[in-house]
Amino acid sequence: MPFTEILPGILTKHKQLQKDRIENGSAKEDNGNHDDLFVEAFAVQVEPKLCGPLIRQIQNQQDTELQHLKRVKCLPIVSRHDGDVLKRQKVTEQRLVLIGTIHSECQSLIELCSQQYTVQRVHVPRRPPISEFEWNRMNEKWPTKKVSYLAIEQEQEARRLSPDEIILMEKTIQHVISEKDIVVLDPASGIVVGRASVERRLQQCLSNNTINNPLQTDIIYAIQNVSRRERTQSAGSYLCTGFDLYTCQEPSLFEGMAALHSRVRRILFVDKSPQLGALTHYSLHTLPSTNHHFRAFQWHEPATEEKEGQDNVIARTV
């Protein structure tokens, strides 16, 4: 299988753990040694209303080590005896906001936070839970995201690529490599619905300035070629809905988001972007907040297939 699916960091981690579990049985979780399950971390204590602004401030530190954890822990409301009656006092509820583990590079952030808030040391799970039992255990120390392995397995099953799909994908990616073009393909019919080279020619014969326009990259041309088709042929489609984008190089953040706005179904690329790629670095295709998500695959030379097979999530399932 020459395609590797680009998954967000946390999912890759889950899959690895799942693999470990299958290979090593459940011994790992029941061996009683839970010391290595937790790691020391820093959290700051704040009032609930300050949580939002603080999280927005620290969100920038895209720490993949924390992806399996919830950011905020609610501290229990303090109650105290008042005479004979146990009264629940109206005390300000406090929240703990996780900043980073002792291993993460968050020193500057901690210094910044310590000017305004109290920084505490807490213990958080080192990795995502691999069973419900472990999840319960982890939750006692810090709120942890629950992982439904059954759901992941079912999803993986549903997302499995068919042999026909793989043939079409390979054929198209070979075409893209040989033509050095970018292509938008309608997988249902196998017809190419957009080509960067065509759009570039059409636009450049109207204005020389487009040649130097840094925003007119090949991926943008390919997307705009699909728009042209939709406008002129009354194609009955909506942007790139249901279409796959094939490109030699992984899209940049700008191009990736343009593809997301265009509702592409999949992006297939050959080379990882030399800068921070939209898919491999930002996981743009799986951002929770956006209104559209798509799948992304990297193609590998068949010669290196065996070597890459180690990381090849799909290969194991097909």
Partner 1 sequence: MTTPTSSGDDTTRNNDEYYMRLALQVAQEALLFGEVPVGCILVQSDGTIVSHGANQVNATRDATRHAELVAIDRWWTGGVFSDQLRMSPEEYAQVAKINNLQEPALEKYFYNDDTIQSSDGRLLPSWGLQKQHPPADLSLCHLYVTCEPCIMCAAALAKMKIGCVIFGCRNDKFGGCGSILHVHQEDAGYRIVSGVLEDEAIALLRSFYSQENHQAPDEKRKRKDNRLADNVS
Residues that bind partner 1 (CB under 8 A): 56-57, 59-60, 112, 203, 206-207, 209-210, 213-215, 220, 223-224, 227-228, 230-232, 239-240, 252-254, 257-258, 260-263, 276, 282, 284, 287, 289-291
| Shortest Å, Cβ 122 to partner 1 | 22
| Shortest Å, Cβ 72 to partner 1 | 18
Closer residue to partner 1 (CB): 148 or 233: 233
Closer residue to partner 1 (CB): 1 or 223: 223
What single letter denotes the amino acid at residue 105? E
| Shortest Å, Cβ 153 to partner 1 | 30
8 Å CB contact between 278 and 272: no
Closer residue to partner 1 (CB): 74 or 287: 287
Neighbours of 20 (CB within 10 A): 12
Name the β-bridge partners of 228: none
| Shortest Å, Cβ 73 to partner 1 | 23
CA distance 128 to 68: 5
| Shortest Å, Cβ 290 to partner 1 | 6
CA distance 206 to 41: 59
Name the β-bridge partners of 245: 184, 267
| Shortest Å, Cβ 115 to partner 1 | 12
Closer residue to partner 1 (CB): 169 or 278: 278
8 Å CB contact between 309 and 286: no
Closer residue to partner 1 (CB): 94 or 204: 204
| Shortest Å, Cβ 215 to partner 1 | 6
Cα angle, residue 67 at apex, residues 61 and 72 outer, rounded to 5°: 80
Closer residue to partner 1 (CB): 206 or 303: 206
Query: Which residues touch 268 (CB under 8 Å, ≥6 apart)?
Result: 3, 169, 172, 173, 244, 245, 246, 247, 296, 297, 298, 299
Tokens 């406090």 -> residue: 94
| Shortest Å, Cβ 240 to partner 1 | 8
Closer residue to partner 1 (CB): 2 or 256: 256
Closer residue to partner 1 (CB): 4 or 224: 224
Nearest to 194 by CA among 157, 232, 167, 158: 232
CA distance 253 to 195: 20
CA distance 16 to 128: 11
8 Å CB contact between 272 and 296: no
| Shortest Å, Cβ 78 to partner 1 | 31
8 Å CB contact between 223 and 194: yes
What single letter denotes the amino acid at residue 275? Q
Closer residue to partner 1 (CB): 8 or 125: 8
CA distance 221 to 267: 15
